[in-house]
């Protein structure tokens, strides 16, 4: 900084204190001066100015003759002289009056001081917020200085954004063009609005260079935002499909194996979610330091909980309904009714509250407004792992082989010595366990209550019908298709229309291929 400016910037504290005790015009002039020089003032001066301005706002300033006293709190008996710092009693002092316009100025200047000299991020953020309210009066240099000195990345980004806005309205046309280009390089919905607002500017009509630059920038931002939104839609579709896959995979295996339509599948998802809640509460009570890991700890618990309930149902009820798919359907419906109301009576119908560990909160912005949120990524990763494990189990383990054999030809498998009833039981448990896993995955995303299963069960059925019975790959493809279609259509026509169109699509598809996408061909 040139030395002349430095000399000018040294603050005359006494003069400021006197002015603040003066009339409205004096106050305004003095505070404006502080603001104007804030970019070049020393930290010490700024901090001092901030203190005295805050005192003024909080009614902790007392005027005694030509000097001002800063009180610790409003109405205290004595305070410190603002200029010298010595303690003096307040007697005979008066409280300076602050008019509306002056108050606004003081808030802005105080904000500037906080921004530049505040000790912690919160203070500085509050200061920035104050500045934002009257951004037009804030000198650009101040923002630049704050930005270069700022350590907190979030705050720095905020500062950059505001500096940018200021630059967009700068008097210098070259700076404006540069600012426009800078904004278009960080596209987002907010950026788009900021640029569109400039269309009302006088320069848009008068300056051809300005207009073409602005139009080009707008086009670029718009395209980027659309791409970003498209990515967001795909991402949401992928996460929905992941949960759908986990819910439907078990259904497909059970249906292929035993011909049982499990109307209680949604409730296995619910059991998984409630088991997760149980794990969270247990961890909170027993090992609160490990709370963040509750989701991971819940994975085996949820699987086992749902699997055990499934095995119990198979052993107690379904075993007696062998080869009676109709009655099995009604029986599983009765079980579903029982489970929903049982949980409702035992725990209550309210939505459960889940802590959000850092690995499922927030996300990283990837492109334009598209943020890769961790909770959905968790669901997607979870489903991928589930897919791999399921395929490995089905293709590489003896149990998987037995499941496939019994699915394709039950009688023959029995003749070969495979204990088909045992396979049924284990497979039912496995399928239910998979649904339980879906319950874990959706805790960070969807609300959890006793009736939550109903939201997924119809879609899971559609996935099984579309993908073909008994096939995991078919389930995957169908889940991607249905999940994706749902999420793609929803922003265009609404959620209900999405479901209608997807259902109509499935019915039409079944016209051509009634067995579904990947059905196993069975010889009669």
Contact at 8 Å (CB) between 469 and 235?
A: no
Number of alpha helices (DSSP H) and beta strands (DSSP E) in the chain: 22, 6
Among 140, 503, 505, 517, which residue sits at the site for other proteins (rule: CB under 8 A)?
A: 503
Could you give the angle at the alpha carbon of 181 between the alpha carbons of 177 and 182, nearest 5°? 115
416 is a contact residue toward other proteins (CB under 8 A): no
Which is nearer to other proteins, 178 or 327 (by Cβ)?
327
Q: Find out whether 310 and 268 touch, Cβ atoms under 8 Å.
A: yes
Q: Is 91 in the site for other proteins (CB under 8 A)?
A: no
Q: Which is nearer to other proteins, 293 or 329 (CB)?
A: 329
CA-CA distance, 233 to 455, in Å (whole number)?
A: 20
Rule CB under 8 A: choose which of 2, 4, 73, 323 binds other proteins.
323
Report the distance separating Cα 456 and Cα 449, nearest Å: 13
* Three-state DSSP state, 78: strand
The candidate with the shortest Cα–Cα distance to 184, out of 368, 312, 365, is 368
Q: Do the Cβ atoms of 470 and 431 come closer than 8 Å?
A: no
- Closest by CA position to 441, among listed 234, 245, 231, 232: 245
Nearer to other proteins, 388 or 495 (CB): 495
Residue 346 within binding range of other proteins, rule CB under 8 A: no
Nearest distance from C-beta of residue 410 to other proteins, angstroms: 11
Binding mask 473-502 for other proteins (x = CB under 8 A): ----------------------xx--xx--
Applying CB under 8 A, among 97, 337, 384, 492 the residue interacting with other proteins is 337
Output Rg (C-alpha) for the chain, integer angstroms. 34
Query: How far, CA to CA in Å, does 463 sit from each of 53, 250, 457, 493?
Result: 65, 11, 10, 22
Counting contacts by CB under 8 A, is residue 5 touching other proteins?
no
**Residues 97, 219, 291, 334: which binds other proteins (CB under 8 A)?**
334
User: Per this entry, what is the length of the chain?
Assistant: 524
Among the listed ranges 151-159, 206-214, 226-234, 319-327, the one in contact with other proteins (CB under 8 A) is: 319-327
**Binding flag, residue 512, other proteins (CB under 8 A):** yes
Question: Closer CB to other proteins, residue 263 or residue 271?
Answer: 263
Q: How many Cβ atoms are within 10 Å of 376's Cβ, its own excluded?
A: 23
Residue 340 binds other proteins (CB under 8 A): yes
Give the nearer residue to other proteins in terms of CB position, either 357 or 516. 516
Which is nearer to other proteins, 225 or 309 (by Cβ)?
A: 309
Other residues' Cβ atoms within 10 Å of the Cβ of residue 406: 24
| Beta carbon of residue 384, minimum distance to other proteins (angstroms, whole number) | 27
* Nearer to other proteins among residue 327 and residue 355 (C-beta): 327
CB of 308 to other proteins, least distance (A): 19
Residue 515 lies near other proteins (rule: CB under 8 A): yes
259 binds other proteins (CB under 8 A): yes
Please identify, using beta-carbon distances, which residue of 366 and 510 lies nearer to other proteins: 510
161 vs 330 by CB, closer to other proteins: 330
Q: Verify binding: residue 462, other proteins, rule CB under 8 A.
A: yes
Cβ at position 407, least distance to other proteins in Å: 11
Residue 142: closest CA among 37, 265, 29, 242? 37
Of residues 171 and 326, the one with the C-beta less far from other proteins: 326
Question: What's the token pair of residue 288?
Answer: 């609160």
Pick the binder of other proteins from 87, 345, 384, 392 (CB under 8 A).
Answer: 345
Q: 3-state DSSP: the chain helix, strand, coil percent, rounded to 5?
A: 75, 5, 20
Measured from the CB atom, is 190 or 488 closer to other proteins? 488
Residue 296 is a binding residue for other proteins (CB under 8 A) = no
Instruction: Answer yes or no whether residue 202 interacts with other proteins by CB under 8 A.
Output: no
Q: Are 27 and 98 in contact (CB under 8 A)?
A: yes
Q: Dmax over Cα atoms in the chain, in whole Å?
A: 109
Q: Which is nearer to other proteins, 133 or 522 (CB)?
A: 522
Q: Is the dihedral of CA 135, 136, 138, 142 positive or negative?
A: positive
Q: Where is 63: in which H helix or E strand? A: strand 61-64
Ranges within 131-150 binding other proteins (CB under 8 A): none
Regarding 290 and contact with other proteins (CB under 8 A), the answer is no
Contact assessment for residue 131 and residue 112, using Cβ atoms and an 8 Å cutoff: yes
H-type alpha helices, 317-397: 325-346, 374-396
Distance CA(492)–CA(376), nearest Å, equals: 22
The site string for other proteins over 429-458 (x = CB under 8 A, - otherwise) reads -------------------------x---x
Among 331, 387, 442, 482, binds other proteins (CB under 8 A): 331
The residues of the shown chain that bind other proteins, judged by CB under 8 A, are 255, 259, 261, 263, 317, 320-321, 323-327, 329-331, 333-335, 337-338, 340-342, 345, 454, 458, 461-462, 464-465, 495-496, 499-500, 503, 506-508, 510-512, 514-516, 519, 521-524
């Amino acid at each position: 900084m040139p030395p002349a400016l430095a000399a000018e910037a040294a603050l005359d504290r006494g003069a400021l204190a006197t002015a603040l005790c003066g009339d409205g015009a004096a106050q305004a002039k003095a505070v404006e001066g502080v603001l104007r020089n804030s970019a070049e003032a020393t930290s010490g001066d700024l901090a001092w100015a901030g203190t005295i301005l805050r005192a003024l706002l909080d009614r902790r300033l007392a005027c005694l003759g030509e000097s001002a006293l800063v009180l610790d709190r409003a109405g205290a008996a004595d305070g410190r002289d603002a200029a010298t710092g010595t303690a003096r009693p307040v007697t005979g002092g008066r409280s300076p009056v602050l008019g509306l316009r002056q108050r606004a100025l003081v808030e802005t200047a105080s904000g500037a001081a906080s921004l530049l000299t505040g000790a912690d991020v919160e203070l500085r953020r509050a200061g920035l917020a104050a500045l934002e309210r009257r951004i037009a009066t804030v000198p650009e240099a101040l923002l630049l200085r704050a930005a270069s000195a700022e350590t907190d990345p979030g705050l720095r980004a905020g500062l950059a954004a505001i500096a940018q806005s200021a630059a967009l309205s700068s008097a210098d046309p070259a700076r404006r063009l540069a600012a426009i280009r800078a904004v278009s390089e960080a596209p987002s919905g907010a950026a788009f609005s900021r640029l569109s607002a400039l269309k009302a500017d006088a320069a848009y009509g008068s300056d051809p260079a300005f207009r073409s630059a602005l139009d080009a920038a707008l086009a670029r931002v718009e395209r980027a935002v659309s791409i970003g939104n498209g990515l967001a839609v795909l991402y949401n579709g992928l996460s929905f499909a992941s949960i759908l896959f986990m819910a439907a995979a078990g259904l497909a295996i059970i249906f292929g194996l035993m011909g049982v339509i499990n109307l209680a599948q949604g409730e296995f998802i619910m059991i998984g979610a409630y088991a997760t809640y149980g794990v969270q509460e247990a961890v909170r009570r027993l090992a609160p330091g490990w709370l963040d890991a509750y989701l991971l700890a819940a994975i085996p618990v949820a699987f086992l909980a749902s699997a055990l309930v499934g095995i119990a149902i198979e052993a107690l009820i379904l075993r007696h309904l062998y080869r009676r798919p109709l009655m099995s359907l009604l029986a599983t419906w009765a079980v579903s009714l029982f489970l929903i109301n049982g949980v409702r009576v035992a725990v209550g119908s309210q939505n459960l509250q889940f802590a959000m560990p850092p690995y499922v909160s927030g996300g990283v912005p990837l492109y334009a407004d598209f943020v890769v949120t961790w909770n959905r990524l968790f669901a997607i990763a979870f489903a991928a792992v589930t897919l791999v494990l399921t395929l490995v189990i089905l293709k590489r383990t003896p149990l998987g082989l037995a499941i496939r054999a019994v699915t394709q030809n039950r009688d023959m498998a029995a003749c070969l010595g495979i204990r088909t009833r045992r396979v049924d039981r284990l497979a039912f448990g496995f399928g239910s366990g998979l649904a339980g896993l879906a319950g874990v995955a959706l805790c960070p995303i969807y609300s959890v209550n006793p009736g939550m299963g109903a939201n997924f069960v119809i879609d899971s059925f559609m996935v099984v019908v579309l993908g073909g019975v008994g096939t995991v790959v078919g389930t995957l493809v169908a889940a991607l298709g249905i999940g994706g279609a749902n999420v793609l259509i929803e922003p265009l026509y609404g959620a209900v229309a999405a479901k209608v169109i997807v259902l109509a699509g499935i019915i039409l598809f079944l016209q051509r291929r009634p067995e579904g996408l990947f059905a196993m061909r069975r010889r009669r």
